[in-house]
Amino acid sequence: MGKEKLIRIDENTVEVPMGYTEGMNVPGRIYIDDELITHLESQAIAQVANVATLPGIVGFSLAMPDIHTGYGFPIGGVAAFDLEDGIISPGGVGYDINCGVRLLRSNLERDRVLPKMKDLVGAFYSSVPAGVGSKGRIKLSPDDEKRVIVKGAKWAVENGFGTAGDIEKTESNGCIDGADPSAISTKAYERGRSQAGTLGSGNHFLEVQYVGEIYDEAAARALGLFKDQVTIMIHSGSRGLGHQVCTDYLPLMEKTANKHGIVLHDRELACAPVHSEEAQLYLSAMKGAANFAWANRQCIMHWCAESIIKVFGGTRESLGLGLVYDVAHNIAKIEEHTVGGRAKRLMVHRKGATRAFPPGHPELPPTYRHVGQPVLIPGDMGRASFVLVGTQGAMKETFGSTCHGAGRIMSRHQAIKSARGRSIHREMEDLGVTVMSVGRSTLAEEMPEAYKDAANVVDVVHNAGIAKKVAKLKPMGVVKG
Amino acid sequence: MKGFEVFDLSGDLGLRIFGESLDDLFVSAALGFYSSVTDPGKILVKTEIGVSLEEESLEALLVAWLNELIYLLDAEGFLCKYVDVKSVSQRHLVADLHGEPFDAVRHECGLLVKAATYHGLSVLYDGGTWKATVILDL
């Protein structure tokens, strides 16, 4: 239901036409092929259309091929708003502000690491707290926590968690300017206080991987990637602090939308005009939560690096341990894009979507400026994750954005039901993947078949030209919360 | 009457909550939440926390209640064994929570809940029973 109204533009794109929902200001565009469209939920299409009704939206209400139903905005959604008459919406960012992914590379090869997988995964499991009730190894004083909010990953590096070189390999240098500690509630601080350097649960993970295939030799070389090389992928966010910021601001945004006469098709689309005081307050708090998330992933990566050194000996330098890149996939940012041939600053929301800036973009670190921004796409724990780079195509069509992951095809309960009588742990071992998890049912809920194959998702963005495939990463070991 | 049931929902958690009175409804919501987080049978009563909430509607009050429990779990590690509702209306709730801090050795690790959402939210009184639907973001 709903799909019959979509108009296919080309083999990778469909349009959600004007009139799909009353009050649309622009059409929707979903990057999806004939195979993935079979998984497309009618509610997710309706959400693309609902976002198109929001004031000041520019171009299209966009969705990536990993689209699925979210709250207000679809997951996989991208929407840019005019700074004069547009809005900012916490629903376009999500509860886990700056949930994101980073990739640590080593110079270790698969054959050297394989015999020590149990030691390595065990070392990760004990060094990075995960799951319900877990407390971080860092105890932040209230003043320290405010410093994290303002400085992001820089706070972590200044306090010994990583090196200065990590900062330039992090989106926005791991810190968005303008975070205001006073815009964040006491409750948010209390939730975050013992959670810096914790993984979380659900689909968050640490994964030991090897480079299984290279699609673009030159780009892989520029990113320091080679065949059979071992990498570590880290997927986490802003933890309770970010969740509380979203929870705190939704009611205020709903009131503000009503005050400005904005019609909401869904309460979770609550929003405020960008120029309003309420929007600026949310933006200041969101920036702080985003910075907290970058500090969180920086600390987690530092402990992963320490664990690798503990298991294999040597130093960070001798083991070639270095950050490839860190990307946010739940965030709103003011960025400059070309609209109608003219440069324009826009409020770009990416909710389950990754920034994918092209070669030459001034925001890229000098080492990657000729190749484009690294884009990290986590897959399920049995098949593969991917490294891509940003393209001019993304800049032209999607406000410099691309997909963020695989997307579920089975609900958690379907997955648990399907896992009954099976040992997912043993199945993963049979696939050559060593797993450890904290939660009672995490492994069943996160089983590979619960997700779409990320390979199909990245093929769509690659073929559509909104990112370019560089390398495939195959899992060897996983820690789940 | 069963106090709550979990319903199937992509990557998140749906709760249908029932109560013969508003007291019961809020107690059932808490039980549904804690059952998802851990095995409530293993929670002991060692401490007590008072909660007082005021919101503009019953729907908002239910979301605020669950978000308060989520906050207490994250900030204090607090797991609740039983809820003593002191006073409740469609716009306010005063309750004492009896339980203990999370103990990684004794308490099972279930789902980590980020927030209670307004998505698909409903609360209605039907045939002598309060019925609510709420979705928790995981």
A202 contacts in B (CB within 8 Å)?
Answer: 11, 111-112, 138
User: Which residue, chain included where needed, has tokens 């695989």?
Assistant: A406
Q: Which domain holds residue A327?
A: 3-480
CB contact under 8 A, A132 and B37: yes
Show which of residues 99-138 on chain B sit within 8 Å of chain A, judged by CB atoms.
Answer: 102, 104, 107-112, 114-119, 121, 135, 137-138
Burial of A22 (0-12, 13-18, 19+ CB in 10 A): exposed
pLDDT at A398: 98
Q: Searching chain A, which residue's CA lies closest to the CA of residue B77? A: A133
Which CATH number does the domain housing residue A48 bear?
3.90.1860.10
Q: Searching chain A, which residue's CA lies closest to the CA of residue B101? A: A133
Could you give the CA distance from residue B15 to residue A73 in angstroms, rounded to a whole number?
21
- The CATH classification number of B4-137 equals 3.55.10.10
B14 contacts in A (CB within 8 Å)?
Answer: none
Task: Tell how far CA A450 is from the center of its chain.
Answer: 19
pLDDT at A1: 62
Domain range list for chain B: 4-137
Catalytic member of A404, A413, A425, A462: A404
Show the CA angle centred on residue A353, arms to residues A20 and A451, nearest 5°.
90
- What is the DSSP annotation of A344-384? EEEEEEEES-EE-PPTT-TTS-GGGTTT--EEEE---SSS-
Those residues of chain A whose CB sits closer than 8 Å to some CB in chain B are 68-69, 71-72, 95-96, 131-135, 187, 190-191, 193, 195, 200-203, 240, 243-244, 246-247, 250-251, 266-268, 408, 411-414, 438-441, 481
CB contact under 8 A, A246 and B115: yes
- List the one residue out of A109, A166, A437 whose CA is nearest residue A322: A166
Show which of residues 40-99 on chain B sit within 8 Å of chain A, judged by CB atoms.
Answer: 60, 67, 70-71, 73-77
Tally of domains in chain A: 1
The answer to whether residue A404 is catalytic is yes
Most A CBs within 10 Å: which of B6, B10, B16, as the mutation test of the A interface? B10
User: What does the pLDDT profile of chain A (481 residues) look like in tens digits?
Assistant: 689 999 999 999 999 999 999 999 999 999 999 999 999 999 999 999 999 999 999 999 999 999 999 999 999 999 999 999 999 999 999 999 999 999 999 999 999 999 999 999 999 999 999 998 888 899 899 999 999 999 999 999 999 999 999 999 999 999 999 999 999 999 999 999 999 999 999 899 999 999 999 999 999 999 999 999 999 999 999 999 999 999 999 999 999 999 999 999 999 999 999 999 999 999 999 999 999 999 999 999 999 999 999 999 999 999 999 999 999 999 999 999 999 999 999 999 999 999 999 999 999 999 999 999 999 999 999 999 999 999 999 999 999 999 999 988 998 899 999 999 999 999 999 999 999 999 888 999 999 999 999 999 999 999 999 999 999 999 999 999 9
Q: Searching chain B, which residue's CA lies closest to the CA of residue A96? A: B114
B134 contacts in A (CB within 8 Å)?
Answer: none
**Residue A132, min C-alpha distance to chain B (Å):** 5
**Residue B34, min C-alpha distance to chain A (Å):** 11
Q: Which residues pair with B47 in a beta bridge?
A: B99
User: Which residue, chain included where needed, has tokens 């299409």?
Assistant: A45
